[in-house]
Each structure stands twice: as C-alpha cells, then as structure tokens.
Amino acid sequence: MSADILTLNAGSSSIKFALYAAGAAPALRAKGQVEGIGVAPRLKARAADGAVLADAPYEAGGGHDTALERIMALIAQAFPGATVAAVGHRVVHGGPDFAAPVRVDAAVLAKLETYAPFAPLHQPHNLAAVRAAMAAFPDAAQVACFDTAFHRGQPWVSDTFALPRRFHAEGVRRYGFHGLSYDFVSRELARRDPERGRGRAIICHLGAGASLCAIEEGRAMGSTMGFTALDGLPMATRCGQIDPGVLLYLMTERGMDANAISDLLYGESGLKGLSGISSDMRALEASDAPEAREAVDYFTHRVRREIGGLAAVLGGLDALVFTAGIGENSATVRAAVCADLGWMGVALDAEANAAGAAVISAADAPVRVYVIATDEERVIAEAAIRFA
C-alpha cells in the first residue's frame, strides 16, 4: 500500500487532478482532467512517464461527483493499492481570514462559502469538489490552498481601495489571485537565477484568466487583480479594468441589474467581446479578421501598460517571466508585449522566443526574460503533504 496525495482543481465544467506519491517531496505519478462536465464529459490522463492512462468520453449526466468517481476508478485501476492520505484543493478565494493552507472541516467550509460572491466563476465549483472529496475519501485530510494567500503580505498601499477605511476592515480589499502559480514560478525563478530571484521581478500569468504580479525578494508587492478576479488585464471572457462609472451608467441608463452586469463582465467581455469571434487566443492569432487583430492588440497593450506600472512599484526591473497557457505558448503575444519595452531594458532574442526557449531575452539585455511553465498542482501537493 502506498500513501498518495491527490490534488483537485475544479472549474465550472472541469476538474484537473494529479496524483503524487507522498514523501519528503511529492513525486508525480499521474496527471489529467475531466472536461465537459454536464455536457460532453471526457476523461484524459497520463502517467508521469507520458503513457496515456485514459482519453475517452463517458455518458453525459451527473456533475462533479460523477467526475470524481471516474477519477477514483482510474486511480484504482492504474495504481492498485494506492491510498489517498490527503486531498489538496485549489480554492480561489481565502478572503481576509486565510493566508496559508488549512485543513477543511465543516466550519472552514462554511466560511469559504461566504466568499463565493467574490469569485462566482470559481469558488462554488472549488467547494463542490471539496464536498465530493470529503464523501469519497472520508479518512483523508482535505486541504484548501488559496490563490489569494500569496498576496496577503503585500504592502498596505497595494492592498486597499480609496474608500472609507471601514470597508477595508470589512474585507473589501485587493486580494490578488493566481497565487499558487506565482508561488511556484517565483521559487523556480530563484532556483534558476538566484540573483534575479532575489531581485525585482514581474510574472505575467497569461491564460484564460490573466494577471501580473510584482515580486521583490520573493514577496508580492502588487498585482493587477483586486477584490475579484475581474480586475486588471482583459481575459478570455472577463473585461479586466473598467471605469466604475460605466457600471453606474449600465444600471441607471440601460436598466441592467446586478445579474445582467455580472453576466456581461464575466462571460461576454474580454477577448470574446472585443473580437466577436472567440475567447481563445489561438483562434484569434489564426484569424485574418481585423476584429481578431484588434482584440490581440488590446490584450498586449494592456499587458505592457501594467508592466510599466508594476515596474514603477518595484523601482526598476531585473526579470520578466511569462507563464500559463498564453504566456508559455504564444511567441506572438510575448513579442508584442516586449516590443516597446526597450526603455526599461527589455529586448528579446527573436529566435529564442520563436522556439519557446527558457530564456528569450537578448544576451546583452539588462532585464532577463524567461518562459517558465507553471505547476500549481505541485504547490498544492507540497502543502497537502504537511497535513497527511
């Protein structure tokens, strides 16, 4: 019998999972996901050596509970004798109360449910997976790992809004997100380049959800995301930064209620809304439509603008890092973001960027530019091991 750690990252229609052998450091055994939950579910998984363990649809019906049952059955078949000692969960919002991983019990779960309005696209599904795992693995420790936790030590000026102070005390503050990714990538940067890892870095987490984080000596100093995961950069379907007056206008002059505005900002905006074509950066890059090019141009313009602002927060820049789906895979986006940043010491090696090399900056550039694959599952597993 082997003691294992299972990690779960549940979205609205998917569950990403990974299985690790417990030990001094987690050793990956398998990784995969169930996608299309509730519509056209499909289970995909590979072993650590790349061998395909599953890649097939299953009958529609059921929700996250059914998906977790499929994951459990796969683990039992592929790894006979495996025993899950702890389940680590990505939970997007920890609110003002949770700044580190925590073992989940009924009281913790109830508290986390109160943060669902802060992250309506994520929190309910994160917690649905926690409840399903509690039922499936009653003897395992259930461990919540928070995307907001990495940012909790940021300076007060990066943590607050210019509202009456009572709102900050009540929890209305800049939480920041993608913290599990920033945790891994900042540590990986320090491992690869200790000098710059101790210095001033901006990490660009660019995917369907997108944000930037300014980091100095491994500490978060500021982020583009705020109270919710709507703020900052435009995303696949989320608007990013917007004048609050636009929302007042939509309410008073267009008669839109909170639900309609929420649907607009979370589901109909960003790349999808700007292009009218797709929320997928790959589809926009492949399109000849001018609207697709304008959407990509707006995205990269906003990334450049936020890099400039965060560099000012840091008082300069030593390293710029691209990560997540777009950041790791789109040479076009990386080139467009960096094209006008020569004034701050950023210059790319075009061939290295096109090849997706680990270091894509020109050899003589003062700022070193990296492409680092993120691994949120490993961060979750490392935390869960401590509770096993």
Note the pLDDT tens digit of each residue in 287-304: 999 999 999 999 999 999
> How confident is the model over 236-246, as a mean pLDDT?
95
228-243 average pLDDT score: 95
49 is catalytic: no
Residue 335's φ and ψ, nearest 5 degrees, are: -65, -45
Which option is the CATH number for 193-371: 1.10.579.10, 1.10.260.40, 3.30.420.40, 2.20.28.10? 3.30.420.40
Rounded CA gap, 284 and 137, in Å? 42
Sign of the alpha-carbon dihedral angle for 105, 33, 264, 147 = positive
- What digits encode the pLDDT tens for the residues 32-45? 999 888 778 899 99
Mean pLDDT, rounded, for 327-344: 96
Which one from 4, 147, 183, 375 is the annotated catalytic residue?
147
Is pLDDT of 336 > 50? yes
Q: Half-sphere exposure (CA, 13 Å, Cβ side) for 283?
A: 11
Domain map of the chain by residue range? 2-146, 193-371
Cβ 177 vs Cβ 212: under 8 Å: no
| Averaged pLDDT score across all residues of the chain | 93
In this structure, what are the phi and psi dihedrals at residue 193, rounded to the nearest 5 degrees? -140, 85
Q: What is the pLDDT of residue 36?
A: 82
Q: Is the pLDDT of residue 113 over 50?
A: yes
What is the tens place of the pLDDT at every residue in 302-311? Answer: 999 999 999 9
- Residue 26 DSSP code: -
Question: How would residue 233 be classed by pLDDT, with cut points 50, 70 and 90?
Answer: very high
Asked whether residue 19 carries a pLDDT value surpassing 50, the answer given is: yes
d(CA 274, CA 177): 23
**DSSP, res 217:** T
Return the higher-pLDDT residue of 13 and 235. 235
Determine the Cα–Cα distance for residues 99 and 101; give it in Å rounded to an integer: 7
Residue 6 has φ and ψ, to the nearest 5°, of -105, 130
pLDDT at 348: 97
What gap in Å lies between CA 293 and CA 290, rounded to an integer?
5
List CB contacts of 304: < 8 A, sequence separation 6 or more: 337, 340, 341
Q: What is the pLDDT of residue 2?
A: 62
2-146 and 193-371: same fold? yes
Which pair of tokens denotes residue 355? Answer: 């090849």
Hey, is 380 helix, strand or coil?
helix
Mean pLDDT of 87-102: 93
The CATH number of 2-146, from 3.30.420.40, 1.20.140.10, 3.90.550.10, 1.20.1270.10, is: 3.30.420.40
- Between 63-67, 105-109, 326-330, the lowest mean confidence (pLDDT) is in 63-67
Global pTM reads 0.92
Please give the pLDDT value at position 11.
Answer: 76
Q: What is the pLDDT of residue 60?
A: 73
Q: Phi-psi bin for 299: left (phi > 0), alpha (psi -120 to 50), beta?
A: alpha
CB 5 within 8 A of CB 366: no
Q: Are 96 and 15 in contact (CB under 8 A)?
A: no
Estimate to the nearest angstrom the gap between the alpha carbon of 294 and the chain centroid. Answer: 25
Instruction: State the pLDDT at residue 1.
Output: 46
Q: State what percent of residues in the chain have pLDDT above 90.
A: 79
Are 174 and 153 in contact by the 8 Å Cβ rule? The answer is no
Q: What is the pLDDT of residue 22?
A: 85
Q: Per residue in 248-275, pLDDT tens?
A: 999 999 999 999 999 999 999 999 999 9
Distance CA 32, CA 48 (A): 10
Q: Contact at 8 Å (CB) between 159 and 34?
A: no
Does the structure show a pLDDT above 50 at 202?
yes
Residue 117 has pLDDT above 90, yes or no: no
Contact assessment for residue 183 and residue 189, using Cβ atoms and an 8 Å cutoff: no
What does the pLDDT average to over 148-171? 95
